[in-house]
A and B are shown apart, each in its own frame.
Chain A
């Protein structure tokens, strides 16, 4: 467990007055407040640190204990035992604490070990109304993301069955209402946010709703024309090649790409780039024929 310099967190020195602490806290809490920094984990972390620092430094008794034992916080337990013998620990009333709407524990292990439990956190006006929001990541293959399917995930020991619509984007976040932490004082539960992480596919590349792939064709088909079969998520497709198809030629298969999210029956396009395979390890006869061909021109 790391020692946290609460003065440093608020950008103050040890002689800071209560007013200095209040001012620094207000300024930093505004800067890092989760409502003003959505989806910014770093800001949320900083906000928690700032809140925690204020929780300690704005309370004269906690500040005294922190100043006395902060760097050597392991002795805090002995200090607590001594205090308990002297009478019940009284927590001073605090003027304000910002709440915000973020998941995770409110206080660090350092804070808990120094002051016990989750601290005496109270919000400025009222305790939390909604439960905590939970964040989770779900890894899918590109093929999984192609089709609508059901998946059961376990969050905090609870099994949640969810339907994943076809066409989810890598990094896309969905909200499952009421699947977060339980509400306080009869309030509604928090929400569960799931971020989809879609793994790269060896064969297909995706850009938005379009799919890209390369298809190898042999030299003879490229020169003389013919047919080739390409794999799509929807099955195999036979394609006709014109004589003289160049290496790098791109063809578009309209509506054979990725499904458009939540728009049933709509698909992007599938782009295939032909890669002409030049024969290697030619037999003597082949070499002869190629030489003859080259002399024709």
Chain B
């Protein structure tokens, strides 16, 4: 049943008109964890959004893998900071209301 949710990486590349070596590079940089069945990499539906983002960064914005690696790291940091801002804003609201 689990296989229903898997997409062959080759098919993904074909659909997006990108070379299969891109998948190998992503694996190498540890940017995406692929499911390997009979030596063939597969992606889950859940990974599609992230994978498509990586494709856009590489092919639309012409960013190399090192750059993507750094960006993903910074975006994670940014997300953490945005979450923290929400918490701090809520705290500030509390203190301002109690003034």
Q: Could you list which residues of chain A lie within 8 angstroms of chain B, going by C-beta atoms?
A: 29-30, 33, 35-36, 38-39, 96, 98-101, 124-126, 129-130, 169-172, 177, 188, 191, 200, 205-208, 212
Contact = CB atoms under 8 A, between A and B. Distances in A.
Contact of B52 (A98, A130, A170): A130
A98 B61 contact: yes
Contacts of A191: 49
Contact of B56 (A98, A177, A208, A212): A98
B20 interface: no
**Closest 9 interchain pairs by CB?**
A171-B86, A125-B17, A98-B60, A205-B94, A207-B94, A207-B91, A35-B53, A170-B90, A30-B61
A196 B79 CA distance: 17
A29 B57 CA distance: 11
Contacts of B82: 38-39
Contacts of B98: 205, 212
Interface of B: 15-18, 45-46, 48-49, 52-53, 56-57, 59-61, 71, 75, 78-79, 82, 86-87, 89-91, 93-94, 97-98
Given A29-B60, A188-B45, A207-B94, 10 more contacts: A33-B56, A33-B61, A39-B82, A99-B56, A130-B52, A171-B89, A171-B90, A205-B98, A206-B90, A207-B90
Contact of B48 (A30, A170, A171, A188): A188
Decide if the interface of chain A is mainly helix, strand, loop or mixed: loop
Contacts of B94: 205-207, 212
Contacts of B93: 170, 200
Candidate in B18, B52, B56 with the most chain A CB atoms within 10 angstroms: B56
Contacts of A39: 82
Contacts of A172: 86
A126 B61 contact: no
Given A33-B61, A171-B90, A205 B56 contact: no
A126 B5 CA distance: 22
Nearest to A191: B49
A165 B82 CA distance: 21
A262 to B, nearest CB: 14
15 contacts: A29-B60, A33-B60, A35-B56, A36-B57, A36-B71, A38-B79, A98-B61, A100-B56, A125-B18, A125-B59, A129-B48, A130-B48, A177-B46, A188-B48, A191-B49
Contact of A126 (B16, B49, B75): B16
